[in-house]
Amino acid sequence: MTTSGRIQVLRASERPATAWLNGGGVTREVAGFPAGAGLAGFDWRVSLADVAAAGPFSPFPGIDRVITLLEGPGMVLTVDGTEHRVDAPYRPFAFPGEAATDCRLLAGPVVDFNVMTRRGKVTADVGLITAPASADVPSGGAVLVVCLSGTAAVGTTAGDDAPLARYDAALLDHPDAHRLRVDGVTAVITFRPAR
pTM of the model: 0.91
Please tell me the predicted confidence (pLDDT) of residue 105: 95
Please tell me the predicted confidence (pLDDT) of residue 3: 44
Compute the radius of gyration of the chain from its Cα atoms: 16
- 3-state SS, residue 110: strand
Q: Are 31 and 72 in contact (CB under 8 A)?
A: no
* Diameter of the chain measured on Cα atoms: 52
| Burial (Cβ within 10 Å: 0-12, 13-18, ≥19) of residue 163 | middle
- 3-state SS, residue 41: helix
| Burial (Cβ within 10 Å: 0-12, 13-18, ≥19) of residue 120 | exposed
Please tell me the predicted confidence (pLDDT) of residue 159: 64
Which residue type is seen at 42? F
Phi-psi region of 177 (alpha: psi -120 to 50; beta: other; left: phi over 0): alpha
pLDDT averaged over 10-residue windows placed end to end, the chain, 195 residues: 66 92 85 87 95 91 97 96 96 96 94 97 94 76 93 79 94 77 94 90
For each of the domains in the chain, give its residue range(s) and CATH number, in order of start: 2-10+122-193 (2.60.120.10), 15-118 (2.60.120.10)
| Burial (Cβ within 10 Å: 0-12, 13-18, ≥19) of residue 35 | exposed
Q: What share of the chain is helix, strand, coil (3-state, %, to 5)?
A: 5, 60, 35
Please tell me the predicted confidence (pLDDT) of residue 176: 65
Please tell me the predicted confidence (pLDDT) of residue 1: 44
